[in-house]
Amino acid sequence: MNIGTSGFSFKDWVGTVYPSDTKRTEMFNRYVELGLNAVELNFTYYSIPHFKTIESLVGRSPKNFMFSVKLNKKFTHEIWKGDVDGLDELSHRFHEGLYPLTNEHKLGAIIAQFPYSFKNEPRFVDYVKKLHDFFGDVLVVEFRNYTWNKKELLEEFAKEGVSVAGVDVPPLKELFRNDKPLGPISYFRFHGRNANWFNFRRYDYLYSHAEIDHLASLTSEVKEPIFVFFNNSYNGQAVQNALELMKKVSQKI
């Protein structure tokens, strides 16, 4: 099982997770030292990945360490609103930047996190399938809008090779929630359960021991490959929960 956090480079992790003198360029090294065996790269959401940057991360990662990469926001937050003709060129550039990962067999998944405004409509269903045409079975999709809570549709995605992430969020009726991931990749994203989801405090949450027990049981019920990422990043709470889950899982092996 691959367990880590969504991102590793946060200012508020310095002094809480990393030593107080940690520089930004040293954060990945400090992350690796924590003992987690995977990370979800989120800087690729803001910019197309650069070959040299990815190559550096690969070179500093342990042998069995795996990466997940967040799909750039042009794919998940922009193109679907208009003309999708630019997908071919953009996906080619994205693939080029990830080459060091694919070449070393360290790319576990590409996670496409869609915004709340991306609703279950026929044209958007088609868009998800089009993304799969470009990225293949490494693609995992995560929805935020409750309109995607349709079992038949999610199973259809899975049959076509599109993995749908298992998502833990606050029990708000507006949000997509999915305890069990579907598709070729069993991919979990645990965001925390802060009820103040629709403001800047959404990721300020620490899972309790009982909640970690429940999340661990969910991960034990799915097939490999399994990826688990905590996104409750505020003050390093994601690290605390990820390490606790890793310890719990290892005790059961």
State the CATH number of the domain containing residue 175: 3.20.20.410
Closest by alpha carbon to 187, among 220, 245, 226? 226
Report residue 102 as tokens.
């694919």
Q: Would the pTM of this model clear 0.85, i.e. be above it?
A: yes
Dihedral (Cα; 33, 206, 184, 75), 10-degree rounding: -90
* Predicted pLDDT of residue 82: 74
Mean pLDDT by 10 residues, the chain (253 residues): 97 96 96 97 95 97 97 91 79 94 97 95 94 94 95 95 95 90 97 86 93 94 96 96 94 67
| 159-196 as b/e: b if 16+ CB within 10 A | eebbbbbbbbbbeeeebbebeebbbbbbbbbbbbbbee
**Distance in angstroms (rounded) separating the CA atoms of residues 98 and 53:** 10
Alpha carbon distance, N-terminus to C-terminus of the chain: 11
Residues of the domain holding 82: 2-252
Sheet-wide strand order for 107-113: 38-41, 66-70, 107-113, 139-142, 163-164
Rounded to whole angstroms, the Cα distance separating 57 from 17 reads 19
pLDDT given at position 196: 87
**Number of domains the chain contains:** 1
User: How far, in Å, CA of 42 to CA of 5, rounded?
Assistant: 10
